[in-house]
C-alpha cells in the first residue's frame, strides 16, 4: 500500500509540475499588469519601474526560474492587488470553497446512496424509473444555467433567497443546491448499477431466504460490496466540485478560491493565480490518497 501511494505521489508531482509550467506561461499572455495597476496617464518610465519592482522585466524563462526557486523555499510571491503573500490570500478563500464542497458532497453522498440503493432494491418499479429520470436530468443540466435560473426564480421572482454573499445560512442554500444536482445525478446511477449486481449475488439471496429484513440486506450486506466503484466516482465528483465551483462561486459572488482565481486572472495577479492552482492541485492529490486508503479498508485484497 505504501509503495502504491509513493507511485501515486510521484505521478501527481509530475502532473503538478506540468500544470505550473503551463499556467505560468499562459498567464503571461493575459497582458501587462503595469497597464492595469497604474493610472492611464502613467508614463513609460513609471511602467518600467513597476515592472522592475515586480520582476516582470526579465525574460520569461528567467522569471520562471526565480519563481520555481522561491516556491521551493515556500515563497509563492506577493499579491499585486492586495499587497499580501499570495498563499495567505488563497488559503483564506480556499477555506470557503472547502466548506462549500464538503457540505455539498456530504449531502450528495447520503442522498445518492439512499436513493440509488432503494431504486436498485425495487428495480423496474415506479421509484426506480422516477429516480432514474430525475438523476439523468440532473447529470445533464449545466451548472451555470441552473445557477442563473435559480437566481431568477428564488431570488428575483419569489424573493426567498439572497443572490450572493455569505452572511447567513440562506446565502449558502442556492450555491449548495446548484452544486448538488450534477454529482447527485451521476452518483445515483452508479450506486443503482452497482447495487443491482450486489443484490443479485448468492449471499444476498441466502440472507433473503433466511428472512433478513430489507434494511439490513440493502445497507449492510449489499452496500459494502457495492461501494468500490461508488467511491471512485465520489472522489472524481469531489475533485470536480473543487474545480467546478469556479463558475458557481462567480455567479453567486461566493468568496471562494474559484471566484478569487477568476478575479486574479482578469486583474493579472499572476502570483495569486499560480498559488490557487498549486493549493487546489495539492488538495485534489490528498483527496485521491484518501480514496486509495478507503479502497484498502473496504477491500483487503487491495492492501496486498
Q: Which residues does 55 contact at the CB level (< 8 Å), separation at least 6?
A: 63, 66
Return the SS3 of 6. Answer: helix
Q: Give the number of C-alpha atoms closer than 13 A to the C-alpha of residue 209, restricted to the C-beta side.
A: 7
Contacts of 20 (CB under 8 A, 6+ apart): 71, 274, 277, 278
Burial class (CB in 10 A: 0-12, 13-18, 19+), 42: middle
Task: Report d(CA 301, CA 77) in Å as an integer.
Answer: 45
For residues 154-163, one letter each, b for 16 or more C-beta atoms within 10 angstroms of the residue's C-beta and e for the rest, the string is bbeeeeebbe
The pLDDT of residue 52 is: 76
The answer to whether 258 touches 60, Cβ cutoff 8 Å, is: no
Which triple of cell numbers denotes residue 91? 488559503
Per-residue pLDDT of the chain (304 residues; tens, 9 = 90+): 566 667 767 777 787 788 778 877 877 776 777 766 677 666 777 777 777 777 777 777 887 887 778 777 877 778 877 778 888 888 988 888 888 888 998 999 999 988 888 888 777 788 888 988 988 888 888 888 888 999 999 988 888 888 887 778 888 889 999 999 999 989 998 888 888 877 777 766 676 666 667 667 666 667 777 777 788 788 878 877 877 677 888 888 888 888 888 888 887 888 888 888 888 888 887 877 777 777 666 666 555 5
What distance in Å separates the CA atoms of residue 90 and residue 286, rounded to the nearest whole number?
A: 17
Please tell me the class of the 87-303 domain: mainly alpha
Pure H helices in the chain: 2-27, 33-37, 44-53, 60-72, 86-121, 126-140, 143-150, 169-199, 202-209, 214-216, 223-252, 257-266, 270-298
The dihedral of CA 4, 7, 13, 15: what is its sign? negative
pLDDT at 184: 92
Instruction: Please report, for the chain, the start and end positions of each structural domain, with discontinuous segments joined by +.
Output: 2-72, 87-303
Helix, strand, or coil (residue 142): coil
| pLDDT score at 2 | 63
Angle in degrees, CA 171, 175, 181, rounded to 5: 145
Amino acid at each position: 500500500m505504501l509503495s502504491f501511494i509513493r507511485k501515486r505521489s510521484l505521478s501527481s508531482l509530475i502532473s503538478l509540475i506540468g500544470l505550473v509550467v503551463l499556467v505560468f506561461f499562459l498567464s503571461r499572455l493575459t497582458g501587462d499588469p503595469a497597464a492595469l495597476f497604474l493610472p492611464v496617464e502613467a508614463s513609460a518610465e513609471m511602467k518600467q519601474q513597476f515592472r522592475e519592482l515586480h520582476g516582470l522585466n526579465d525574460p520569461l524563462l528567467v522569471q520562471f526560474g526565480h519563481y520555481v526557486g522561491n516556491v521551493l523555499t515556500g515563497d509563492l510571491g506577493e499579491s499585486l492587488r492586495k499587497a499580501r503573500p499570495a498563499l495567505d490570500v488563497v488559503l483564506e478563500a480556499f477555506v470557503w470553497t472547502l466548506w462549500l464542497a464538503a457540505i455539498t458532497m456530504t449531502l450528495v453522498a447520503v442522498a445518492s446512496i439512499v436513493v440509488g440503493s432503494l431504486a436498485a432494491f425495487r428495480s423496474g418499479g415506479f421509484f426506480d424509473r422516477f429516480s432514474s429520470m430525475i438523476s439523468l436530468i440532473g447529470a445533464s443540466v449545466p451548472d451555470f444555467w441552473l445557477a442563473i435560473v435559480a437566481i431568477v426564480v428564488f431570488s428575483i421572482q419569489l424573493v426567498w433567497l439572497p443572490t450572493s454573499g455569505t452572511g447567513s445560512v440562506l446565502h449558502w442554500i442556492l450555491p449548495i443546491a446548484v452544486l448538488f444536482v450534477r454529482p447527485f445525478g451521476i452518483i445515483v446511477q452508479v450506486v443503482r448499477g452497482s447495487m443491482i449486481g450486489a443484490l443479485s449475488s448468492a449471499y444476498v439471496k441466502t440472507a433473503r431466504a433466511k428472512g433478513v429484513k430489507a434494511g439490513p440486506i440493502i445497507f449492510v450486506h449489499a452496500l459494502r460490496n457495492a461501494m468500490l466503484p461508488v467511491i471512485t466516482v465520489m472522489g472524481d465528483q469531489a475533485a470536480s466540485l473543487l474545480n467546478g465551483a469556479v463558475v458557481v462561486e462567480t455567479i453567486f459572488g461566493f468568496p471562494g478560491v474559484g471566484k478569487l482565481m477568476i478575479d486574479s486572472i482578469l486583474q493579472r495577479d499572476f502570483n495569486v493565480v499560480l498559488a490557487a492552482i498549486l493549493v487546489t492541485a495539492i488538495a485534489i492529490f490528498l483527496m485521491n490518497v484518501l480514496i486509495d486508503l478507503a479502497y484498502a479498508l473496504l477491500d483487503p485484497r487491495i492492501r496486498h
